[in-house]
Every structure is written in C-alpha cells, then in structure tokens.
Amino acid sequence: MNRLKQLRDVAICAITLLALWQIVVWITGVPRYILPGPVQVLSALVDNFDLVMQHFRITAIEVLTGIVLGVSLGISTAISLMLSTPLRRVTMPMLVLSQVIPVFALAPLLTLWLGYGLASKIAMTLLIIYFPVTSSLLDGLSNTSPGYLDLARTMGASRKEVLLQIRLPAALPSLASGLRLAAVYAPIGAVIGEWVGASSGLGYLMLLANGRVKIDLMFAALFALCVFAILLRAAMGWLADRVESWSTGTTV
C-alpha cells in the first residue's frame, strides 16, 4: 500500500514537471533548437529508439562494471586497512589527498592512458565511487559498539575473528549508505568520461546531437540517462535496504 502511494506521488511529480516544461515552451515561445517540448522529445526518442538504446547499453555496461569493481575494491581496501594499523596510518592521508584532486580533472589523463573505449569510463566510474565506499565502510568498521568488543575480548577472540564476525557485519549499514552514494555518483563518472573522449555511450550521443543541433535527440538521450540513473538508484537502494536489515536483524 505504501509502495503504491509512493508510486502515485512520483507519478504526480513527473506529470507536474512535464506540464510545467510544456507551459514554459508555450509561454516563452523558445525555438525548438533551444528547448524542445516534451512531445518533441518523446517523438525524437521513438524515432531514434534503437540508436538511443545502443548507447544506453554502453553507458550501462560502463557504470555497472565500474560499480562492481569500485565496490569490491572499496570493501577490500577498508578491510585491509582495518587489519593493519601501520597500513592505515600510511594510506589514510594518501586516500584523503587523492580526494582533493577532482576526478573530472583526471578524465583527459585516463582517456590518454586507457584509450577512447570502455576502459577509461569504467576507470572514471570506479574512481568516483571508490572513496565514498571505502570511507563509509571504514567508518563503520572503526565505530563498532565498544560493548561488543568488550564481550569478544572476555571470550578470547582473535583480532581477525572480531573483524570478520563482529566489526564487519555491524558495519554493513555504513556500507549500505556507501552503496546508495555510489549509485548516485557512478553515472556521473561514466558520462564525464564519455564527454572527454568516446565513440559511444549516452554522454557521447548527447555531445553528438548537440553538435548537430538535434536538441530533441539530445534531450532524448538525457531522458534515457535519467531513467537509467533512477533504475540504478532503486536497485542499489533495494540492495542497501536488504544489507542493512540483515545487519540489524529486522525486516525491511
């Protein structure tokens, strides 16, 4: 029932936005090569459906691969940093420092090193989500309730068992917030990568359509990107909720 209400609210919101958009187009009378109306965008989407889907597929592959790699790398980094205090001391400042460099600024370099294909976009996506995942999990791992640690200590548990059996499961809600962030950031990484240099992907299609003043096609690509981002967020949110509810022993 709640789901249904939520869906209804989203639908109302979307319809309102579309109506506003159409009204702005009518009132201002902007030419269609500056701001096409929703109907024109829809018809561009229908006319170029195969083209848009072809680029959609590429962007989806980049983002999903980047997420899988970035999340795995983030989880393993956080766990290894927890296992070794000296490693954490040396690596933490490096990790924080690496965040000072905007990932966008690295895009041209990544394209230079990894080429115009999928690899540079996957690397961008990975880089943009690696830090949020690592730091959120590390934060959770190092903030285990002291009572659990006291108990484990009186039970004679080893450091490794405390990490695997107590710290890690207790930190899963923190990892879940990292996953939610990753779902938001990941498409940004891929699209930036595509803007800097690519021959496929929705970001590339947008640039291409823009260059040819096919603004309705550009909006159609943007619309596809939005749909993908929303689906990705929903899927990651679902996963994050499951992870969280397992850790807290409650039902979603």
Partner 1 sequence: MTAARVCGGFTFGEQSLFNDVALELPTGRWTCLIGASGIGKSTILRLIAGLDTGGSFNGKLETSSAVAYMAQSDLLLPWLTLRQNVNLGKRQRNEEPDNSRVGQVLEAVGLLSHADKKPAQLSGGMRQRAALARTLLEDRPLVLLDEPFSALDAQTRHQVQALAYDMLRGRTVLLVTHDLLEAVRLADQLVELTPAGVRNHTLPDSAPPRDASNPAVIACQAGLLQASHRGGVSRRA
Q: Is 169 in the site for partner 1 (CB under 8 A)?
A: yes
Separation of alpha carbons 110 and 118, rounded Å: 11
- Smallest gap, in angstroms, from Cβ of residue 245 to partner 1? 10
- Smallest gap, in angstroms, from Cβ of residue 21 to partner 1? 46
**With respect to partner 1, which residue has the nearer C-beta, 2 or 251?**
251
Q: Is 143 in the site for partner 1 (CB under 8 A)?
A: no
Which residue, among 137, 149, 128, has the nearest Cα to 66 in the 3D structure?
Answer: 128
- Smallest gap, in angstroms, from Cβ of residue 14 to partner 1? 36
What size, in residues, is the chain? 252
- Where do runs of H (alpha helix) occur along the chain? 2-28, 38-47, 49-83, 85-100, 103-114, 118-142, 146-154, 159-161, 168-196, 202-211, 215-248
Among 8, 32, 153, 212, binds partner 1 (CB under 8 A): 153
**With respect to partner 1, which residue has the nearer C-beta, 116 or 148?**
148
Which residue, among 195, 189, 191, 199, has the nearest Cα to 123 in the 3D structure?
Answer: 189
CB proximity list for 221: less than 8 A, separation 6 or greater: 52, 55, 202, 205, 206, 209
- Smallest gap, in angstroms, from Cβ of residue 241 to partner 1? 15
Separation of alpha carbons 77 and 109, rounded Å: 24
Segment interacting with partner 1, rule: CB under 8 A, options 45-53, 146-154, 179-187, 211-219: 146-154
Contact at 8 Å (CB) between 43 and 216?
yes
Q: Is 210 in the site for partner 1 (CB under 8 A)?
A: no
Q: Is 2 in the site for partner 1 (CB under 8 A)?
A: no
Segment interacting with partner 1, rule: CB under 8 A, options 11-19, 42-50, 158-166, 204-212: 158-166
**With respect to partner 1, which residue has the nearer C-beta, 101 or 164?**
164
State the virtual CA torsion across 182, 115, 96, 159 in degrees, nearest 10: 70
- Smallest gap, in angstroms, from Cβ of residue 208 to partner 1? 49
CA-based R_g, the chain, Å: 22
**With respect to partner 1, which residue has the nearer C-beta, 211 or 251?**
251
For the chain, what is the total number of helices (H) and then of strands (E)? 11, 0
Separation of alpha carbons 205 and 220, rounded Å: 10
Among 42, 157, 184, 207, binds partner 1 (CB under 8 A): 157
Segment interacting with partner 1, rule: CB under 8 A, options 27-35, 36-44, 111-119, 143-151: 143-151
Q: Is 207 in the site for partner 1 (CB under 8 A)?
A: no
Q: Is 248 in the site for partner 1 (CB under 8 A)?
A: yes
Separation of alpha carbons 64 and 6, rounded Å: 26
Positions that interact with partner 1 (CB under 8 A): 147-148, 150-158, 161-162, 165-166, 169-170, 172, 246-250
